[in-house]
């Protein structure tokens, strides 16, 4: 695998013939994974290099300023997960004015053909591209045929209920606290990532020291207490995480605070990842500090030893 990132302002060109997967790929859920794996399989069959092309900023938020999409993962997480999939090239570029103004055919010719020597394109059933999203699946097929490029359109992946698996649907599940189902559709545990901050040390005063982080993403899960798994310094720890406003102490700001079981190191300033495993209970304002302590003890004792 060639460990590279290609940016618009680079002059990098790929001489080898390329199979490419196009999309925003927010969350890299199992539908996205199917699309990329189909591209990868075809690239191997045809002797092509495999490539994923996406943007550093979700195109929908740029094209529609009122569309404040709550992203499921940041670019660091996306890059990490895409590289795990064993692709040869990853292109994450800025959705710049120059890119936005390209017509559908200009995008294919100037970017996909001239820069990346693309011979096969894999897209989702609802893919749009080019200036103001003028190009759709049929447009792409028509233009690609002109340049001798094969196009594979991947049909949607559905839940047993018939619901199409999408980033939008997974966001709703997370906002509703249905994290276990969201994790199944993501193909991994939904993860909050950030640097451990110096908080008000409320957890320590209660006897349950916590690592507080400022999350590097815009989506906020349902407020409450979660069973979690924490990755720190290449090691995994079981944890219990509260996402909320600490109403017992009349808190006003959102906090994400995690108590790591059997852990007592000072990790202020360190980066940690918190995987949400299951929703335990909604956030609640307790009548006293003692009542809160009792509930925390109960939450910890109720945690399953199985972290999956």
CATH number, domain containing residue 252: 2.40.30.30
225 occurs within a structural domain:
yes
Instruction: Respond yes or no: is residue 257 known to be catalytic.
Output: yes
pLDDT, averaged across the chain: 85
User: Is the domain of 200 the same as that of 145?
Assistant: no
- Domain region containing 55: 18-154
Residue 146 lies in a domain: yes
User: How much is the pTM?
Assistant: 0.86
Same structural domain for residues 203 and 291?
yes
- Specify whether 297 is located in the same domain as 217: yes
On whether residue 129 sits in a domain, the answer given is yes
Mean pLDDT of 171-187: 96
Which ranges of 85-122 does DSSP label H, i.e. alpha helix?
97-100, 104-106
Calculate the alpha carbon distances from 19 to 30, 87, 258 in Å: 20, 10, 42
- pLDDT for residue 306: 43
pLDDT single digits (tens) 127-157: 999 888 888 999 999 999 999 999 999 999 9
Nearest C-alpha neighbor of 144 from the set 120, 160, 163, 169: 120
On whether residue 264 sits in a domain, the answer given is: yes
On whether residue 221 sits in a domain, the answer given is yes
Asked if the structure places residue 185 within a domain, the reply is: no
Top-confidence residue, 10 or 219? 219
Where are any strands of DSSP class E within the chain? 18-22, 49-55, 89-93, 118-124, 150-154, 191-197, 211-215, 224-232, 235-244, 255-260, 271-282
- 134 within a domain of the structure (yes/no): yes
- Contact between 120 and 144 under an 8 Å Cβ cutoff? The reply is no
- Judge if 201 and 116 occupy the same domain: no
Tokens for 245, please give them: 């406003």
Catalytic member of 257, 265, 275, 290: 257
Q: How many domains does the chain have?
A: 2
Q: Rounded to whole angstroms, how far apart are CA atoms 237 and 225?
A: 17
Q: Is residue 198 part of a domain?
A: yes
Number of continuous H segments (helices) and E segments (strands) in the chain: 10, 11
């Amino acid at each position: 695998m060639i460990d590279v990132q290609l940016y618009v302002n680079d002059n990098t060109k790929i001489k080898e013939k390329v199979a490419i997967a196009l999309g925003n790929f927010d969350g890299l859920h199992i539908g996205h994974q199917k699309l990329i794996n189909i591209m990868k399989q075809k690239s191997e069959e045809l002797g092509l290099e495999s490539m994923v092309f996406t943007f550093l900023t979700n195109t929908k938020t740029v094209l529609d300023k009122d569309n404040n999409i709550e992203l499921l993962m940041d670019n660091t997480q996306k890059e990490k997960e895409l590289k795990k999939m064993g692709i040869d090239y990853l292109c994450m570029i800025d959705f710049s004015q120059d890119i936005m103004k390209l017509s559908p055919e200009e995008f294919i010719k100037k970017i996909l053909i001239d820069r990346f020597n693309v011979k096969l394109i894999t897209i989702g059933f609802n893919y749009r591209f080019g200036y103001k999203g003028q190009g759709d699946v049929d447009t792409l097929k028509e233009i690609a045929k002109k340049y001798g490029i094969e196009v594979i359109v991947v049909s949607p992946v559905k839940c047993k209920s018939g619901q199409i698996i999408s980033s939008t649907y997974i966001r709703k599940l997370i906002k509703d606290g249905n994290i276990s189902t969201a994790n199944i559709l993501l193909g991994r545990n939904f993860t909050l990532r950030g640097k451990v901050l110096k908080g008000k040390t409320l957890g320590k005063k209660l006897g349950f020291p916590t690592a507080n982080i400022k999350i590097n993403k815009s989506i906020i899960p349902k407020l409450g207490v979660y069973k979690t798994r924490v990755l720190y310094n290449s090691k995994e720890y079981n944890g219990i995480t509260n996402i909320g406003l600490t109403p017992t102490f009349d808190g006003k700001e959102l906090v994400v605070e995690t108590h790591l079981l059997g852990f007592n190191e000072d990790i202020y300033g360190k980066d940690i990842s918190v995987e949400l495993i299951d929703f335990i209970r909604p956030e609640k304002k307790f009548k006293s500090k003692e009542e809160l302590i009792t509930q925390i003890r109960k939450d910890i004792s109720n945690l399953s030893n199985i972290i999956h």
